Amino acid sequence: MTTDTDTSRACGQPPRPDPHPPTSRRWMWFAAWPVVVALALSNEPAPLYVVWQDRLGFSAATLTLIYAFYVVGLLGTLIGAGSLADRIGRRPVLLPGLALGIVAAALFATADSVPALALARTLSGVTVGAFLSAGLAAVSDLAPAGSKRLGGLVASASMVGGAALGPMLSGILSETLPGPTVGVFVLQIALLVTAFPVVLRMPLHRPAAHVAGTGRPRIPSAPRPHRRGLLLGLGVFAPAITATGFVLSLGPSLLADLLHTSNRTVAGGTIFILFAAATGVQFAARGLTVPTLFRLGATLTVSGMTTLILAVPTGSVTLVLVAAVLAGLGQGSAQLGALGTLSSRIPSARLAEANAALTAGGYLMAGALPVGAGYLSDAVGLAAGTTAFGVTVAILVTAGAVAATTGSRATAS
């Protein structure tokens, strides 16, 4: 199929918008598959941390530090990937991301030291960063005209859907296949390979002439008229994703202590439930207004942190599971409000950068607070560390929801 963009390119003219872009619901859903596959890599290591801890003998603080390497790789990529994808196109960012994901999966499968795990985690962060910026933007780009909010929903759901798939596969395969840290990453490599033809065939347009070009990477942001909305969304989204980050980094160890078992299926299943809840709530709540989504996200996150604080001293596995579900519901609601706002209001030429800004801000907090909670837990005990973390997140997300709701009213008026 030849488009106006192809014709302009062949004639040496700057690409111009296609009046009938080849977007459809079918391609929008196809574009979501590479995002799912890449995001699966983000949480696959979580159920296996207990295996690596036993094998390599590192502490809870080191465990959260390994998670922080993932965040470093993610944030470092987001700084450049968003604006780069807007300048040169989505595909040149996504293809190297897939290749580095394969390298990361191979490193996880063969890791025999903490530095090897840290490198694998860093590279997985680079892959996820590429897809949280250019991948989510590609899904929104391919949404049919007049359905950009649907594109934002599919992009957001593919993000948390992949985050749910990874730990479930990891937990089940590590218990059923020989080599608990090998089989799942061999499968992950195969899944990443299937994403290559989808990325290569997606009918994506090259950026307009005034957007394309070179330039130094810059701190990702949104167009000036939309920066206030981006910051208000971050006020709720960042604490909400931080709550799930704590469950990812310390949740498997916490469950192992409470259940007196190292069964990885239970840990992977818990993380799956968390992100399945985050996925499901987005489809259930898609008709709600953005302020309502932010209030809902904050309420659910506070409830999740309260439940988690009660779960540790009581040793209740049920409360841990409830806390995981509530945290997932909270993240899903806040994320839908934030990403939906960006995809419906920000032009495609700046959308990848805006997505990068949102996720970078969220993961910056999600990396810092769980690491602090890990070190605090080593020093004063898991119960005290969890309580301090839960109270901090509850305060931050409540303040963010108040600011976002007030700001939305002010903007509307």
Which of the four pLDDT bands, split at 50, 70 and 90, describes residue 13? very low
Q: What string of DSSP letters covers 87-121? A: HH-SHHHHHHHHHHHHHHHHHHHH--SHHHHHHHH
Contact indicator for 357, 229 with CB cutoff of 8 Å: no
- Domain membership of residue 363 (yes or no) is yes
pLDDT, tens digit (0-9, with 9 covering 90-100), for 354-388: 888 888 888 888 878 877 887 787 788 878 888 99
Q: Are 222 and 84 in contact (CB under 8 A)?
A: no
Cα–Cα distance list, 369 to 26, 73, 106, 216, 244 (Å): 39, 17, 29, 30, 11
Decide: helix, strand or coil at residue 146: coil
Angle in degrees, CA 145, 151, 154, rounded to 5: 150
Residue 115 CB neighbour total at 10 angstroms: 11
Opening angle at CA 141, ends 159 and 130, nearest 5: 45
Tokens 């080849």 belong to which residue? 22
> What local confidence, expressed as pLDDT, does residue 91 receive?
94
- Please give the Cα distance from 256 to 269 (Å, whole number): 13
Q: Which residues contact 400 (CB under 8 A, 6 or more apart)?
A: 232, 234, 235, 236, 238, 239, 294, 298
CA 388, CA 386: separation in Å to the nearest integer? 6
What tokens does 151 get? 């594109």
- Which of 121-125, 171-175, 201-205, 214-218 is predicted most confidently? 121-125
Report in angstroms the alpha-carbon separations of 124 from 77, 226, 256, 291: 11, 30, 25, 33
pLDDT at 258: 62
pLDDT at 330: 95
Count the Cβ atoms, other than its own, within 10 Å of residue 54.
Answer: 11
Residue 282 in any domain: the answer is: yes
Is residue 148 situated within a structural domain?
Answer: yes
Residue 42 in domain: yes
Residue 229 lies in a domain: yes
pLDDT at 24: 65
Domain containing 75 equals: 23-203+221-412
Distance CA 49, CA 387 (A): 22
If you average pLDDT over residues 34-43, what whole number do you get? 93
pLDDT at res. 412: 46
Residue 16 has pLDDT above 50, yes or no: no
Residue 16 lies in a domain: no
Q: Is residue 162 part of a domain?
A: yes
Higher-confidence residue of 409 and 117: namely 117
Identify the pLDDT of residue 7: 37
Whether the Cβ atoms of residue 75 and residue 363 lie closer than 8 Å to each other:
yes
Q: How far apart are CA 159 and CA 175, in angstroms?
A: 26
**Dist. CA 294–CA 387, nearest whole Å:** 24
The torsion region of residue 215 among left (phi > 0), alpha (psi -120 to 50) and beta comes to: left
Q: What is the CATH number of the domain that holds 331?
A: 1.20.1250.20
Closest CA to 244 of 389, 96, 97, 399: 389
Distance from CA of residue 83 to its chain's centroid?
18
Terminal-residue alpha carbon distance, the chain: 46
Tokens of 7: 């014709």
State how far Cα 51 lies from the chain centre.
24
Q: Is residue 215 part of a domain?
A: no
Closest CA to 80 of 213, 211, 218: 218
The number of distinct structural domains making up the chain is 1
Mean pLDDT of 207-224: 62
**pLDDT digit string, tens, across residues 230-266:** 888 899 999 999 998 777 666 656 666 666 656 677 7
Structural tokens at position 13: 């003219």
